Amino acid sequence: MALPMGATAPLVALSRPLAEFDPEMARAIGDEGRRQSEKLGLVASENFSSRAVREAEGTVLVNKYAEGLPGARYYGGCECVDVIEDLARQRLMAVFGAEHANVQPHSGAQANMAAYMALCKPGDTILSMSLPHGGHLTHGSPVNLSGQIYRFVHYVVNRETERIDMDEVEEIARRERPALIVAGASAYPRRIDFAAFAAVAERVGARLMVDMAHIAGLVAAGLHPSPVPVADVVTTTTHKTLRGPRGGALLCRREHAAAVDRAVFPGLQGGPLVQVIAAKAVCFREAAEPAFGAYQAQVARNAASLARAVQAQGFRLVTGGTDNHLFVADLRAHGLTGRQAERALEQAGILVNRILVPFDPEPPQRASGIRAGTPGVTSRGMGESEMERVAALIGEVLRAAGRGKEQLVQAVTDVGAAVRDLTGTFPVPA
């Protein structure tokens, strides 16, 4: 390649497009785009961000280092990124009516760790929801850093109703006297009474943290009670129902602002990902739009429709249904593990994830259930009638998987064609 007058070889290398410089990577990214487009994504924690969100993330902000907070950075040249981060913080506080926000966490996991650091000391007792009953890995699992730094005790759902039993939560809290109570879940299909958790926390002298990562979009739209007025700290991801970039954020009372900010930096992270913060700011602006509320209402309607239709296909749902964007199906009566079901459905182009059900006899690698959610398919424009069709396809695959390999092969062929027709009709947002 001939160099322009005065240009150096490094400068030319910096200007080469991806497809030319790294065709292998370009192909892999293209393949992922086609996969997202052609498959039916029912993974409850995934969604499709808007063009504006993606544009904000893919900008020159990737070049900037900005340790610290707006107005108090450890690097020069931060006057523009200060504006960006302030926009993100102000918009997030406005959407949820919070007194303080930190938008720097790279993920929900880091937001949760920052909340623990802000409110607890190593070794303190924390009460949270058990992972097999709908909690999250970062809520004190022994394989997670949270469970290695703090002493976690767990509450479980009622064996009969499979719902949170606040009397049991209070009984454990009175016995264990935790420094912190954690509410929120990653696989709980019902509304959570945050005010009841706050009342228990007050009676035992504990702080309350709420992880609303999964339901943040529903909360923003007023379709789920907000934890912000009653919790000391609220954590969230910015993808999932919020439909923004992959990342995390914290909201808290003003009294905890300094502790939360210190926990994020320098406690857990160095320089924030400014390009992701810009994309978060865009997503928070989207969450304030009337169209976002209509979208969330459709997410909830679609989840209820899909859950009812899957139930009609003969599959038992944990708690009997859903109040939010996801449901969990128990497959034990059909002789399937969650792993078998997940793999069979994926062969047909339907993506869910295996998950433990309450009191599950199987280990996490196999599990007895699958979790499905509707944020992604709703972003593609699907409605209740499509959810009924999807439920029929799920039932066809899972029944075939229980009958044997030959039947499954035929079902995968038939359902795969139907999935391609559906995804072709409802393309991924450009």
Q: Please identify every residue annotated as catalytic.
A: 65, 67, 211, 237, 240, 246
DSSP 157: B
Calpha distance 86→92 (Å, rounded): 10
310 contact partners, CB below 8 Å, separation of at least 6:
317, 327, 329, 372, 391, 394, 395
- Please name which of 204, 279, 213 lies closest in space to residue 250, comparing C-alpha atoms: 213
CA 429 to chain centre: 19
Cis omega (within 30 of 0) on the bond before 364?
Answer: no
Token couple for 34: 């086609």
Calpha distance 202→181 (Å, rounded): 10
Three-state secondary structure call for residue 25: helix
Calpha distance 97→90 (Å, rounded): 10
Calpha distance 303→326 (Å, rounded): 6
Write phi, then psi, for 126 (nearest 5 degrees). Answer: -130, 135
91 contact partners, CB below 8 Å, separation of at least 6:
281, 284, 285, 288
Calpha distance 52→58 (Å, rounded): 10
33 contact partners, CB below 8 Å, separation of at least 6:
none
Calpha distance 217→375 (Å, rounded): 10
Calpha distance 423→38 (Å, rounded): 6
Radius of gyration (C-alpha) of the chain in whole angstroms: 23
Calpha distance 158→319 (Å, rounded): 10
CB 344 within 8 A of CB 370: no
